[in-house]
Amino acid sequence: MFIGWVIFFFLLGAVLGSFINMLSDRLPAEKSIVTPGSVCDTCGKRLGVPDLIPILSFIFLKGHCRYCRAKIPARALWVEIATACLFSLFWVILGPGVALAISLVYLCVFITLFVIDLEKGLILNVIIYPFMVLALLLSPFYLTGDGLLANLSSSFFGGLTGFGLFLLIYIASRGGMGEGDIKMAGFIGLVCGFPNIFVAIFAGIVLGGLAAAALMLSGKRRKGQTIPFGPFLAVGAVTAMLFGSQIMDWYLSLA
Ligand SMILES: [Zn+2]
């Protein structure tokens, strides 16, 4: 039974990963996400069911369009696999319930923000604003992974903390950090609440710092070149959603 549910959430995640790929292509280009149905970006041919099976179609077609042989970016595959694995992981950690349903919605939002910021360096208002409102509205029903019941004031102050901290960083860095990051930190605060927002930001900064150091050491990025921070914030947020209070307890035990 357990393994059955793990497989169920893996398949559900793979399908939503496919949807996230479509959003990541169309939202930054300001294209409709409803029409047309799935088409090849290169030849415009309408794609059928065999072309749209998550993960498998990409592997069988070796990452090319069936009709014009145009290359499909590898991102299409890794987003489907990552979303599938994360859906299974969320089920294993959170178990059934309202918290799981709400968490999976946020997870999809964070993966979409991750991909679009990584590829385009954009954090889109069309995603951030509606989900800020939703996060505040859902906060009384959102039980975080550690069993900590969030609520409206926790969500509100979390959002204020994230927004305020990043506004300060933005001012101090004189635009070295994007305005989108301020809104994203605010959104993460609304989702994770107070004090979990600190875990999300801390994890994001540690990961971002490590990645920047690794890129600089490998010679792929020069000093002064900026890397988008949104993807790291997204990973930090997912970490806080799953392990927020464990990390907080661990930190307090050190202090
Ligand atoms: Zn094609």
- Condensed to tens digits (0 to 9), the pLDDT of residues 230-254 reads 999 999 999 999 988 888 888 889 8
pLDDT at 143: 60
Instruction: Report the separation in Å between the CA atom of 68 and the middle of ligand 1, taken as the mean of its atom positions.
Output: 4
**Rounded CA separation 245/145 (Å):** 9
Q: Where in the chain are the domains?
A: 1-96, 98-255
Contact between 161 and 193 (Cβ < 8 Å): no
Instruction: Report the separation in Å between the CA atom of 35 and the middle of ligand 1, taken as the mean of its atom positions.
Output: 18
Encode pLDDT of 120-168 as tens digits: 999 999 999 999 999 999 888 776 545 455 688 889 999 999 999 999 9
Instruction: Report the separation in Å between the CA atom of 67 and the middle of ligand 1, taken as the mean of its atom positions.
Output: 5
Residue 98: pLDDT above 70?
Answer: yes
Name the token pair of 134: 């939703």
Amino acid code (one letter) for 196? N
**Rounded CA separation 157/163 (Å):** 10
Instruction: Report the separation in Å between the CA atom of 217 and the middle of ligand 1, taken as the mean of its atom positions.
Output: 39
**Rounded CA separation 65/166 (Å):** 42
Instruction: Report the separation in Å between the CA atom of 32 and the middle of ligand 1, taken as the mean of its atom positions.
Output: 19
Label residue 100 exposed, middle or buried (CB < 10 Å: 0-12, 13-18, 19+). middle
Instruction: Report the separation in Å between the CA atom of 73 and the middle of ligand 1, taken as the mean of its atom positions.
Output: 13
pLDDT at 228: 86
Q: Identify the bridge partners of residue 71 per DSSP, sorted by sequence position.
A: 64
Q: Identify the bridge partners of residue 46 per DSSP, sorted by sequence position.
A: 39
Cα Rg, the chain, nearest whole Å: 19
Q: How far is CA 111 from the centre of its chain?
A: 3
If DSSP codes are grouped into helix, strand and coil, which group holds residue 143? Answer: strand
Instruction: Report the separation in Å between the CA atom of 164 and the middle of ligand 1, taken as the mean of its atom positions.
Output: 46
Instruction: Report the separation in Å between the CA atom of 185 and the middle of ligand 1, taken as the mean of its atom positions.
Output: 38
Residues, CB within 5 angstroms of ligand 1 (ion): 40, 42-43, 65, 67-68, 70
pLDDT at 249: 86
Instruction: Report the separation in Å between the CA atom of 10 and the middle of ligand 1, taken as the mean of its atom positions.
Output: 28
Contact between 33 and 104 (Cβ < 8 Å): no
**Rounded CA separation 205/125 (Å):** 22
- In this prediction, residue 225 has a pLDDT band, given cuts at 50, 70 and 90, of low
Name the token pair of 23: 């959003």
Name the token pair of 211: 């990645």
Instruction: Report the separation in Å between the CA atom of 51 and the middle of ligand 1, taken as the mean of its atom positions.
Output: 11
pLDDT at 145: 46
Instruction: Report the separation in Å between the CA atom of 46 and the middle of ligand 1, taken as the mean of its atom positions.
Output: 9
Instruction: Report the separation in Å between the CA atom of 76 and the middle of ligand 1, taken as the mean of its atom positions.
Output: 15
Contact between 133 and 156 (Cβ < 8 Å): no
In degrees and rounded to multiples of 5, residue 106 shows phi and psi of: -60, -40
Q: How far is CA 38 from the centre of its chain?
A: 23
Instruction: Report the separation in Å between the CA atom of 40 and the middle of ligand 1, taken as the mean of its atom positions.
Output: 5
Q: What is the 3-state secondary structure (H, E, C) of 75-127?
A: HHHHHHHHHHHHHHHHHHHHCCCHHHHHHHHHHHHHHHHHHHHHHHCCCCHHH
